[in-house]
Structure 1
Amino acid sequence: MRVLVTGASGYVGRAVLRDLEAAGHEPVPAVRDPATLAPRWRDRAVTVGDLGPRTEWSAALEGVEAVIHLSSPSAPGGLSDAVLGDSIVDGTKRLAEAASAAGARRFVFMSSVKATGETTPFSGIDETATPTPGDSYGRAKLAAEQVLAKSDLEVVILRPPPVYGPGSGGNLRRIIDFLRGAPPVLPLGISGNRRSFLHRDNLASATLACLEHPEAAGRTFFATDGEALSTGALTRRILDALGRRALLLPVPARGLALLGDTGRRLGGSCAFDDSALRHTLGWKPVVDPRAGMLEAVRETADPLLSADGGRQA
């Protein structure tokens, strides 16, 4: 099918384009600047302005049967509630209305675990948990989900945890870079917490399942690598991938909290149960998390930015 992909030049978008093409679909990348795409995608791209309540979508949606909405502010932490509302909430509503008017049916919305809150019990939560977003970005994502629930489209909501992979950024990349030159004794041997992660290729695969599967319509799903790691286990996995050894001291989570927000995150749990995605859609990760971490450590550049668009799924 012909599929509009917003945020197509982003880290996840590039993998989604690759997987859509490999599955025989016709992806239409929607971007602010086609030059941000790998060369092979530029001729297929449509240019759209900033996402908001007045964005014009008619040309981009011509002949489109489905939408994968990935676009989101790249640095939401520094944006006001009003800007986030315009972009994430009103912008999503505008796109959904335009997609419905253009005759599209399926609408896959990339939300975030932040819509439910980034602190969970040790045992984790599933999609039935009451959302308690802890910041403006999470509240905006949840509000966009609620707007889409009123749409006449076949809406599928996907809530990924932190995403990693070759050339990835974010907090996990900062941890990897820190551990490259970290001292041989580290206060990161915590075992009393659990945190979920998701390889970029696993997220792209889950997105494709949400697009294609009839039973996905009207559902909200978490997606994870299938395991939730303690801070100590995550640190050891990264160190193993780096070929390094270190003594990890089991400092209590309350001790790490003295380091501020980063410390609190490292010491707390943020674990999610994606059984619904696996059982309903028959989905399973395409990348083993150990192999995925090794790939993320070894490749500091994203191969999907290359001229050939990277490997096929």
Structure 2
Amino acid sequence: MSGPRVLVTGARGFVGEAVVFRLLRDGSFVPVAAVRGATRLSGLCQVVTLALEDASSLPSLEGIQVVVHAAARVHVMSDVAADTLAEYRRVNVEGTVQLALKAASAGVKRFIFISSIKVNGECTAPGRPFNSTAVPTPMDPYGLSKQEAEEALRNIAEDTGMEVVIIRPPMVYGPGVKANFLSMMRWLNKSVPLPLGAIRNQRSLVAIGNLVDLVVTCIDHPAAAGGTFLVSDGADVSTPQLLRSIAQALGKKAWLLPVPTWLLKVAAACVGKKAMAQRLCESLQVDIGPTRQALGWVPPVSVDDALRQTADYYLDNQNK
């Protein structure tokens, strides 16, 4: 392979690994996968070790033209750390800053940071989607750490001239997805009745194929330099719509009980699941119009196709 060398951190994770596979398939760039441990990418591309919390583990960046930084301490529903914010900052802020400074010193031209829509906040009012110019209002330690990392990267860009690109995705799904999305598929595949039929909201999601396509676009697009880009599938869905679409892709019927939203929220709060209820019941929409306009970018994968691919992968691998 020949072409610009692109270091992808977090290459064992859902997003980072997908970026590497896309670069390998396209052949226009040479990926270098930065991981914490064993990876199925070994033998497919150069693999280096990286632990963000350990500055001494940072790999050499000589000859790297672009860094796609997807590694992070990710958001978890039940965090047991004694000081949650300090742990997020140690990895997501301090680790990112150390990597970016080393990249700038090595002459890396562009640093693409996979941030989160949680920098903007947790929910939106009807007809008022988040945009990249809104004042950030992170509501939890993860979102705050991502905002602080963004600010630090902008300062590094100003001081060093290295181009920084920030991408804020909402919930990412696709073949091999884990966490809450996987749990939803399991319940739907078992035809378990869910008390979510009365929810009236709108949520922006992003298929892994669409997110990766935007990341690859930002590797060398001239207009990406210095930009902050929101990303989604370009078609928002309500929670009941999403569940019915997933069920259909699984070949099942979604049994959704019309439990009042207020009752769901009260019940969830009583069992310590207030945040989960918020994600199921509230709206969170993003405006990708500026992303489309600045980069001439259009999400290449439709919601229906992405859900079908996700369901097919789940059905093929559920017993493995």
Q: Distance in 2 between the 1:226 and 1:182 partners? A: 29
The question of 1:132 aligning with 2:140 is answered: no
1:149 paired to 2:150 = no
Q: Cα distance 1:203–1:213, how it changes in 2: closer, same or farther (>3 A)? A: same
Task: State how far apart, in whole Å, the 1-side matches of 2:185 and 2:28 are.
Answer: 35
Q: Deviation digits for residues 71-112 of structure 1, max 9, x if unmatched?
A: 012465344211211111011111111000000111100001
Deviation (angstroms), 1:291: 1.2
Contact persistence 1:112–1:141 (CA under 8 A): yes
Partner SS, residue 122 of structure 2: coil
**2:177 match:** 168
Work out the CA distance in 1 between the residues paired with 2:260 and 2:293. 36
Shift in alpha-carbon separation, 1:253–1:23, aligned structure 2, 3 A: farther
Question: Equivalents in 2 of 1:282, 1:52: separation in Å?
Answer: 36
Structure 1 segments unaligned to the other structure (5+ residues): 304-313
Q: 1:217 aligns with which of 210, 225, 232?
A: 225
Return the offset for 1:46. Answer: 1.2
Q: Choose from 259, 278, 282 the match for 2:296.
A: 282
Conserved? CA contact 1:52–1:92, under 8 Å = no
Give per-residue Cα distances to partners, 1:174-230, cap 9 Å, x unaligned.
Answer: 1111111134x5432245211111111111111111112111111111110111111
Match of 2:49 in 1: 47
2:181 and 2:232 mapped to 1: Cα distance?
15
TM-score normalised by L of structure 1: 0.89
- Worse-matched range after superposition: 246-255 or 153-162: 246-255
Contact (CA 8 Å) 2:74, 2:142: kept in 1 or not? no
Alpha-carbon distance, 1:37 to partner: 2.9
Instruction: Give distance in 1, aligned partners of 2:116 and 2:263.
Output: 28
Root-mean-square deviation (CA), in Å?
2.0
| Aligned residue type for 1:181 | K
188-197 or 64-73: bigger deviation: 188-197
Residues 302, 118 of structure 1: alpha-carbon distance in 2 compared, 3 angstrom cutoff: farther
2:41–2:47: 8 Å Cα contact kept in structure 1?
no
Partner residue of 1:181 out of 163, 180, 190 = 190
| Shift, 1:55, TM fit | 3.8
Residue 52 of structure 1: CA displacement?
Answer: 2.9
Whether the aligned pair in 2 keeps the contact of 1:187 and 1:248 (CA below 8 Å) is yes
- Identical aligned residues as a percent: 39
Rate the CA distance shift 1:252–1:73 in 2: closer, same or farther, 3 A: same
Give distance in 2, aligned partners of 1:241 and 1:55.
Answer: 46
Closer, same or farther: CA 219–130 of 1 in aligned 2, 3 Å: same
1:107 and 1:190 map into 2 onto residues whose CA distance is 43
Q: State the AA in 1 paired with 2:283.
A: S
Q: Report the count of equivalent residues.
A: 298
- What amino acid is the match of 2:246? I
For residue 6 of structure 2, the aligned residue among 3, 17, 26 is 3
Give 2:64's aligned residue. Answer: 64
Q: Work out whether 1:235 is the aligned partner of 2:248.
A: no
Q: Distance in 2 between matches of 1:46 and 1:178?
A: 38
Q: Distance in 2 between matches of 1:55 and 1:12?
A: 25
3-state SS, counterpart of residue 272 of structure 1: coil
For structure 1, which segment, 136-145 or 190-199, has the greater mean C-alpha deviation from structure 2 after superposition? Answer: 190-199
Alpha-carbon distance between aligned partners in 1 of 2:149 and 2:113, rounded to the nearest angstrom: 9
Distance 1:288 1:139 in 2: 31
- The amino acid of 2:98's aligned partner reads R
Cα drift, residue 56 of structure 1: 4.3
Cα distance in 1, alignment partners of residues 39 and 75 from structure 2? 17
Q: Alpha-carbon deviation of 1:143?
A: 0.4
**Structure 2: distance between partners of 1:302 and 1:147:** 43
Offset from partner CA, 1:108-137 (integer Å, 9 cap, x none): 000011111121112222112221111100
- Alignment partner for residue 194 of structure 1, among 190, 193, 202? 202
Q: CA deviation at 1:54?
A: 2.4
Q: Distance in 2 between matches of 1:137 and 1:63?
A: 32
8 Å CA contact 1:190–1:231 kept in 2: the answer is no
